[in-house]
Amino acid sequence: MSARTRRIVSTVSATNAIGEYLRARRELTRPQDAGLRDFGRRRTPGLRREEVAMLAGVSADYYIRLEQGRDQHPSPQVLDALARALQLDEDATAHLHTLAAPRPRSRSRRTTKPERVPEPIEQLIMSWTTTPAYVFGRYLDVLAANRLATAIAPWFAVGENLVRGAFLDPRRRELKPDWERALASTVAALRANVGQEVDDRRLTELVGELSLRSERFRQLWARHDVRPKGSGTTTIDHPQVGRLELTYIKLPIPDTDRQTLSIYHAAPGSPSAQSLALLATTTVPEREPERTLNPRQDPTTTEPTTAE
């Protein structure tokens, strides 16, 4: 493992989560974006520590202590000032506040418990034969999926991980024209889901694996982008029914540990709606033929009655 890879994987550690986040965002903020003049070439990308401190109205020494992890619980007012200095959006600002919140003391890293979808939710999506739907958990593992969801995209299947698949599953490149664009949003969604629990054992294993196997993942993980998975549109080049242009919505499931229900649909009357309906006919499970009685047959016997 290279030194750079070790540094990126080490950012999973929670010992200095807020410092790692501030440094990553500082390096991504251009001086001109922060209203500063750029006086030539810089040794490092982005803003200098002293510039962030000036923009946020804090001392340079105090800001350096924050990045180095010597002070990990700044006030909400300081966090808001830093967010403005670093041009953070609403999601990123909320994440910064989350990282600075006190955490319960623990002797060891959190042990991952199995995630289970509430039974009524699973029954609901399984009853939808014409609407693709699935549920993913806090690590973007697919926890439940109906037949049509798996039919439109094979990675919408129980046991699949949406982050691992996005970078390592070659089917994504074949079926999704916007595959590359979706990579950044997938990594940002993972960070948003785990919040400050960056020392979680399951997360550490996932990030470690992907950091070793994908240069692109390492680059995106090091950015510390944070954005929950939201609603939008996507395109799938389906091998059976052709191009599907779909709208999706993401709904958090109450009383769960960050589980999300994902639902897909096509515009009514569109070619994609027709294709989706056609695909749905192939996913209906076959039923055994019902045995019916001849109207003239006595239900108490298997022999047909004869007319007198």
Looking at the domain assignment, is residue 67 inside a domain? yes
Answer with the residue of higher pLDDT: 95 or 34. Answer: 95
The Cα–Cα gap between 177 and 167 comes to 14
pLDDT exceeds cutoff 50 at 163: yes
Q: What is the pLDDT of residue 105?
A: 53
**Residues 154-175: what's their mean pLDDT?**
94
Residue 289 lies in a domain: no
Burial class (CB in 10 A: 0-12, 13-18, 19+), 40: exposed
Tokens 């990579």 correspond to 183
pLDDT for position 145: 98
Residue 168 included in any domain: yes
Number of domains in the chain: 2
Residue 304 resides in a domain: no
Residue 135 has pLDDT above 90, yes or no: yes
Tokens of 143: 């926890």
Kindly state whether residue 110 falls inside one of the protein's structural domains.
Answer: no
Vertex 2, ends 52 and 222: CA angle to 5°? 35
Given a cut of 50, is residue 11 above it in pLDDT?
no
CATH number of the domain at 38, please.
Answer: 1.10.260.40
The CATH number given to whatever domain includes residue 182 is 3.30.450.180
Same structural domain, 130 and 275: yes
Instruction: State the sign of the Cα–Cα–Cα–Cα dihedral 266, 268, 270, 272.
Output: positive
pTM to 2 decimals? 0.80
Q: What is the pLDDT of residue 284?
A: 76
Same domain, 136 and 15: no
Mean pLDDT computed over 193-213: 89
How far is it, in rounded angstroms, from Cα 276 to Cα 95?
A: 37
> Can you give the pLDDT at residue 299?
45
- How far apart CA 210 and CA 297 sit, in angstroms, is 67
Distance CA 188, CA 92 (A): 10
pLDDT tens digits, one per residue of 249-306: 999 999 998 999 999 999 999 999 999 999 999 987 765 555 544 545 454 444 444 4
Domain co-membership, 18 together with 153: no
In 13-140, where does DSSP find H-type helix?
17-28, 49-56, 60-68, 76-85, 90-100, 119-127
Reported as a single tens digit per residue, the pLDDT across 92-132 is 999 999 998 876 555 444 556 789 999 999 999 999 999 99
Q: By the 8 A CB rule, do 134 and 262 touch?
A: yes
Task: Answer yes or no: is 65 within a domain.
Answer: yes
Check whether residue 128 and residue 275 sit in a common domain. yes
- Within this chain, do residues 80 and 127 fall inside the same structural domain, yes or no? no
Specify if 290 maps to a domain.
no
Same domain, 165 and 245: yes
User: Does residue 302 sit within a domain?
Assistant: no
The reply to whether 72 and 129 lie within a common domain is no
Indicate whether 83 and 206 sit together in one domain: no
Domain that holds residue 83: 3-100
Q: What is the DSSP string of 192-239?
A: HHHTT-TT-HHHHHHHHHHHHH-HHHHHHHHHT-------EEEEEEET
